Amino acid sequence: GLADVPVLPLDEAFALTAEFKADGCAQKVSLGAGVYRDEQGDPWVLPSVKKVRQQISLHQTPNLDHEYLPIQGSEPFLKLARDLILGESLSPKGNLTSIQTISGTGANHVGAQFLARHLHPKHVFISDPTWSNHHLIWTIAAPNVTRKTYPYYNAADRSLDFEGWVATLEREAVENDVVVLHACAHNPTGLDPTHAQWKFLAELFRRKKLFAFFDSAYQGFATGDLDLDAWAVRHFQEVLFGLEECPDHEEGPSGLCIAQSFAKNFGLYGERVGAFHLSLPPSTPTSGAYSQLLQLTRAEISNPPLFGARIVTTVLSNLELRSQWEQDLLEMASRVRNVRGLLRKEIEHRLGSGSWSHLESQTGMFSYTGLSEAQVLRLKNMHHVYLMRNGRASLSGVNESNVKYIAEAVSEVVSN
C-alpha cells in the first residue's frame, strides 16, 4: 500500500541549494547549482531580456493575451531556435521536425520517450560522468532501453578518455543505439572533444549507424561564440544528413536529435524554454514522427509555456536585441573565464606546489576540481563552501570578493 512507498533522497543539486539557503554563515559560498551569478553573487537578468520585459509589459502592450500555444509550441520560436543551433545555412536545408519543450529537461524526456517507442534502440550510451538527470530521465521515460555508460574522463591526468570512449562504442554499440552527447561545455568535466575527435566520432556514428542525441544546454557558454559552440552538432548534421544524400549502398543512421535549452544562455531558468529537434535522412518523411511527438506532448503538458518563448523569440528576431544578447552572453562567459584564472592563481599561491591549471583549461560553467568527497564535505562543514559530491564546482559563484576565502578553504582541505 501507499504506506510502504519508500522515501527517496532529494536530488543532490536541489538538496544542496536548500542546505545553502538555510546556512546562516555570512561567508557562505554556493558553488553547487549550475546557475549564473554576477560579480555580486546575485542572479543576473540579462539586459537584453530586461528590454523585452519592458516592451511586453502591461503598460506597453495592454492587449497582449495569454492564450494557449498550439501543441507544438510557437512556430516562430521553433524556427529561430533551430536556426540558432544548426545555423542559417544548414537549418533550412535539413529534413527536420521540431517541438517546443519544458526547457532542456523536457526535450531530453520527450526525446527518450519517442526513441524508446519508435526507434527501439537496444542501448542508450551515457557519458561517465554526466549530468545525473540523464540517467533518471532514461530510466523513467525509456525503461525498456538498457542504459550503458561510455568512459569520458581520465582522472589520472584530468583528460578526456577519447580512446576508452571510442573503444566502448566499437565493442558494445549496435545499429540504432542512442548515444547521448554534450554539444559543448560538458557537464560536469568541462572537457569537450576537439574538432578532429568530433570528426572521427561522426564517421563512427555513420559506419555503425548510431543515433546521436545532442544535449545542448550551454550554447554560447563554452567559447562565448554561438557558432563555435554548435560546431559538433552542425558537423554531425552535415556529415550524416547534409547536402549530399548518402548513396543507397551506404545508408547512414536513422537520424539524430537535439535537446535544446535556453535556461543558461538566456538566464531564463524558471521559465522553462526549450526545444526538441529531430533530423531524419533526406528521404525519410517526418510527418509520422511529428504526429507522435505531438501526442506525447499532448498527454504530458498539453502545450508548452508561452512567456519565455515570447522573450526568446523577440530577442532572436530583432537585430538590436540580438546583438545586445550576444554581448550579454559574452559577459557571462568572460566573467566565468576570468574567475577561473583568479581562483587558480590564489590556490596555487597558497599551496606552493601542484598544478591547478585544470581550473583554467576546462570550459563552460563548471570545474571538475578533483576534490574528493571527504574534501567536499569538509569544505561544506568547516568553511560553508558548497559544491557537488563529485567535486564539481559551479564557477559563477566565485567573484573578486570571495575568491581569497574560497582559495583559503580549498587549500585547507587539500592540505588536511
Beta strands in 155-248 (DSSP E): 159-160, 178-182, 211-216
Binding mask 159-188 for ligand PMP (x = CB under 6 A): -----------------------x----x-
| From candidates 141, 263, 315, 409, binder to ligand PMP by CB under 6 A | 263
In the complex, minimum distance from the CB of residue 131 to ligand PMP, in angstroms, rounded to a whole number: 4
**Any contact of residue 215 with ligand PMP (CB under 6 A)?**
yes
| Cα gap 323→301, rounded to integer Å | 33
CB of 101 to ligand PMP, least distance (A): 9
Amino acid at 259: A
- State how far the Cα of 16 lies from the Cα of 22, in Å rounded to an integer: 10
Q: What does the alpha-carbon distance between residue 244 and residue 226 come to, in Å, rounded to a whole number?
A: 25
In the chain, the N- to C-terminal Cα span, in Å, equals: 48
DSSP state, 43? B
- Name the maximum alpha-carbon separation found in the chain: 66
- Over the window 82 to 121, marking each residue x when it contacts ligand PMP by CB under 6 A and - when it does not, the resulting string is ---------------------xxx----------------
Identified binder of ligand PMP from the candidate list 77, 131, 325, 386, rule CB under 6 A: 131
The site map against ligand PMP for 25-44 (x = CB under 6 A) is ---------x----------
Q: Judge whether 208 counts as a catalytic residue.
A: no
Q: How far is the CB of 249 from ligand PMP (least distance, A)?
A: 37
x/- map, 389-408, ligand PMP, by CB under 6 A: --------------------
Query: Cis omega (within 30 of 0) on the bond before 70?
Result: no
Residues 6+ apart with CB under 8 A from 334: 224
356 is catalytic: no
* Radius of gyration of the chain from its Cα atoms, rounded to whole angstroms: 22
Q: In the complex with ligand PMP, which residue's Cβ is closer, 321 or 365?
A: 365
Query: What number of other Cβ atoms are within 10 A of residue 404's Cβ?
Result: 14
Told to check if 265 binds ligand PMP by CB under 6 A, we report no
Q: How many CB atoms lie within 10 A of CB 204?
A: 16
Within 8 A by CB and 6+ apart from 56, the residues are 64, 310, 311, 314
* DSSP label of 145: S
Which C-beta is closer to ligand PMP: that of 104 or that of 255? 104
CB of 142 to ligand PMP, least distance (A): 16
Q: Is residue 138 at the binding interface for ligand PMP, with CB under 6 A as the rule?
A: no
Task: Give long-range contacts, CB 8 A cutoff, 24+ apart: 350-358.
Answer: 350/407, 350/408, 350/411, 351/411, 351/414, 351/415, 354/414, 358/158
Out of 44, 264, 328, 356, which one is annotated catalytic? 264
Can you tell me the distance from the alpha carbon of 286 to that of 315, in angstroms, rounded to the nearest whole number? 29
What is the smallest separation between the CB atom of 204 and ligand PMP, expressed in angstroms? 22
Considering only residues 185 to 204 of the shown chain, the ones binding ligand PMP according to CB under 6 A are 187
Nearer to ligand PMP, 78 or 239 (CB): 78
Closer by beta carbon to ligand PMP, 14 or else 401: 14
Residue of 47, 62, 41 lying closest to 330 (CA atoms): 47
Q: How far is the CB of 261 from ligand PMP (least distance, A)?
A: 3
217 or 293: CB nearest ligand PMP: 217
CA–CA dist 86, 362 (Å, integer) = 24
Q: How far is the CB of 220 from ligand PMP (least distance, A)?
A: 14
Q: Among 44, 51, 131, 198, which one carries the catalytic annotation? A: 131
Q: Which is nearer to ligand PMP, 34 or 73 (CB)?
A: 34
Does residue 79 carry a catalytic annotation?
no
Q: Which stretch binds ligand PMP (CB under 6 A): 59-67, 77-85, 244-252, 261-269?
A: 261-269
Cβ 269 to ligand PMP, closest distance in Å? 6
| Catalytic one of 161, 177, 192, 215 | 215
Q: What three-state secondary structure class fits 278?
A: strand
- 304-329 as b/e: b if 16+ CB within 10 A: bbbebbbbbbbbbebeebbebbbebb
Beta strands in 166-292 (DSSP E): 178-182, 211-216, 256-261, 273-279
Residues 6+ apart with CB under 8 A from 127: 149, 150, 152, 165, 180, 181, 182, 186
Q: Does 274 bind ligand PMP (CB under 6 A)?
A: yes
Ranges within 223-242 binding ligand PMP (CB under 6 A): none
Q: Which parts of this chain interact with ligand PMP (CB under 6 A)? A: 34, 103-105, 131, 182, 187, 215, 217, 261, 263, 269, 274
Catalytic residues: 131, 215, 264
